C-alpha cells in the first residue's frame, strides 16, 4: 500500500465537548474513520481513502464495551493509544479517544439502537447484541463528529451491510464509503485480532483467504461457488462457524436460483480466535 505523507497537524481529543468544538473549526468536508484502535495497515487504508474523499479526517479510537458480550475479549482487546497516535500522526486532523465513561455516562445506555433482524444472523447469532452495540456507538460517533462521509472496511461485511441500512433507514446525513479488504502478503485478511495468532495459527488461518480465492474463481456459477463453500466446511484446518453465500441486503443464504450479487462470508476459529473474511461475487450462471 502507498502511504500518503504526513501533511497536517493531528490533535487528540478525549471528550465529546472537545470533539464538537474541534469539529466546528474544520472547514470543508469531513470523513470519519471509526476504529477500536490497535491500528494496522488495514486501518491506514481506511485513512488513505478518507483523505481522498474529504478535506479533513477524524479517526475515532474507542474500544466499545457495548459490542462485546460476556466472556468476550473486551478487557484483553489490544490497546496502545501512543502507537495509534504515532501511526496516524500528520495523516488525520483529529483523533477521538474517549474513556468508556465519557462515551457512556450510563452503561448500558437506557436507550440504544437496534440492528434489527440482520443483527441476529451470522456473527450476530454467535454474538447476541453485538451489532446493536455497533450501531449504537456508530450512531453516537456520527452524531458527535457530524461527518460528510464515514469509511468502513469490507472485511466486516455484515457490519458494513448493517451500517448501510442504519444510514438509509434512519435517514442519517452521511455517506458510507466502503474500502476493500487489506491482506497480509500471505493473503490473510488484516485484523487487530491476528496478533493473537502464533505462526502456525497464521498458516492455518490461510484456509479463509484460500476459500475466498476459490469462491471468486468459481463465480459466476452459483453451483460452483456453493460447492467451494461446502468443500471448505469439510476441511478441518479451521473450526468453521459458517462459510456461506448470502443475499447482500437481507443476509439470508442464497439459493441455487439466485442471480446477481452475493456476499461470500466466512467465519472460523483458529487457536480460539474468531477470524472473518468476505468477498462480493457476481453470480449469473447456474
Q: What does the binding site for ligand PAF look like in residue numbers (CB under 6 A)?
A: 34-36, 64, 67, 134, 137-138, 156, 159
114 is in an annotated binding site: no
Least Å distance, CB 173 to ligand PAF, is: 18
171 is in an annotated binding site: no
C-alpha grid cell, residue 58: 477524524
Which positions ≥6 away from 164 have C-beta within 8 Å? 176
Which CB, 63 or 232, lies closer to ligand PAF?
A: 63
Among 43, 56, 130, 258, the active-site one is: 43
Short-list 204, 218, 225, CA closest to 272: 204
Which CB, 22 or 33, lies closer to ligand PAF?
A: 33
191 is in an annotated binding site: yes
272 is in an annotated binding site: no
Least Å distance, CB 242 to ligand PAF, is: 19
Least Å distance, CB 271 to ligand PAF, is: 21
38 is in an annotated binding site: yes
Which positions ≥6 away from 111 have C-beta within 8 Å? none
C-alpha grid cell, residue 32: 470519519
Asked whether the beta carbons of 97 and 81 are under 8 A apart, the reply is yes
Which CB, 88 or 222, lies closer to ligand PAF?
A: 88
156 is in an annotated binding site: yes
43 a catalytic residue: yes
Which CB, 81 or 224, lies closer to ligand PAF?
A: 81
193 is in an annotated binding site: yes
Asked whether the beta carbons of 51 and 4 are under 8 A apart, the reply is yes
Which CB, 65 or 227, lies closer to ligand PAF?
A: 65
Which CB, 13 or 222, lies closer to ligand PAF?
A: 13
Least Å distance, CB 68 to ligand PAF, is: 10
Helix (H, G, I), strand (E, B) or coil at 233: helix
Q: Is the dihedral of CA 174, 162, 192, 71 positive or negative?
A: positive
155-to-18, 138, 159 alpha-carbon distances in Å: 31, 17, 9
C-alpha grid cell, residue 282: 457476481
Least Å distance, CB 157 to ligand PAF, is: 11
CA–CA dist 141, 134 (Å, integer): 10
The string of DSSP letters for 108-155 reads: S-SS----TGGGGSTHHHHSTTHHHHHHHHHHHHHHHH--SEEEEESS
Bridge partners of residue 1, in order along the sequence: none
138-to-65, 147, 152, 226 alpha-carbon distances in Å: 13, 12, 11, 33
Least Å distance, CB 62 to ligand PAF, is: 7
Residue stretches of the annotated binding site: 36-43, 67, 153-156, 159, 190-193
Residue stretches of the annotated binding site for (R)-pantoate: 67, 159
- The residues annotated as belonging to the active site are 43
Residue stretches of the annotated binding site for ATP: 36-43, 153-156, 190-193
Amino acid at each position: 500500500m502507498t502511504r500518503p505523507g504526513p501533511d497536517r497537524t493531528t490533535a487528540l481529543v478525549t471528550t465529546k465537548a472537545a470533539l464538537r468544538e474541534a469539529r466546528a473549526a474544520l472547514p470543508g468536508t469531513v470523513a470519519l474513520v471509526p476504529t477500536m484502535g490497535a491500528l494496522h495497515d488495514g486501518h491506514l487504508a481506511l485513512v488513505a481513502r478518507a483523505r481522498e474523499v474529504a478535506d479533513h479526517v477524524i479517526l475515532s479510537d474507542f474500544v466499545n464495551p457495548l459490542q462485546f458480550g460476556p466472556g468476550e475479549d473486551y478487557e484483553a482487546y489490544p490497546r496502545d493509544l501512543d502507537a495509534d497516535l504515532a501511526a496516524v500522526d500528520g495523516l488525520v486532523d483529529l483523533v477521538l479517544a474517549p474513556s468508556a465513561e465519557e462515551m457512556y455516562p450510563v452503561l448500558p445506555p437506557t436507550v440504544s439502537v437496534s440492528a434489527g433482524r440482520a443483527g441476529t444472523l451470522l456473527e450476530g447469532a454467535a454474538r447476541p447484541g453485538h451489532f446493536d452495540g455497533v450501531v449504537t456507538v456508530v450512531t453516537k460517533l456520527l452524531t458527535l463528529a457530524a461527518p460528510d462521509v464515514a469509511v468502513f472496511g469490507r472485511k466486516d461485511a455484515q457490519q458494513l451491510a448493517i451500517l448501510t441500512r442504519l444510514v438509509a433507514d434512519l435517514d442519517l446525513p452521511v455517506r458510507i464509503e466502503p474500502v476493500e479488504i487489506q491482506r497480509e502478503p500471505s493473503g490473510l485478511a488484516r485484523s487487530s485480532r491476528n496478533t493473537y495468532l502464533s505462526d502456525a495459527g497464521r498458516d492455518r488461518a490461510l484456509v479463509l483467504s484460500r476459500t475466498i480465492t476459490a469462491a471468486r474463481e468459481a463465480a459466476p456459477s452459483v453451483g460452483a461457488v456453493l460447492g467451494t463453500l461446502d468443500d471448505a466446511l469439510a476441511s478441518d484446518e479451521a473450526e468453521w462457524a459458517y462459510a456461506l453465500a448470502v443475499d447482500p441486503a437481507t443476509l439470508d443464504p442464497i439459493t441455487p436460483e439466485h442471480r446477481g450479487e452475493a456476499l461470500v462470508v466466512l467465519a472460523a476459529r483458529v487457536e480460539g480466535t474468531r477470524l472473518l473474511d468476505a468477498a462480493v461475487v457476481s453470480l449469473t450462471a447456474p
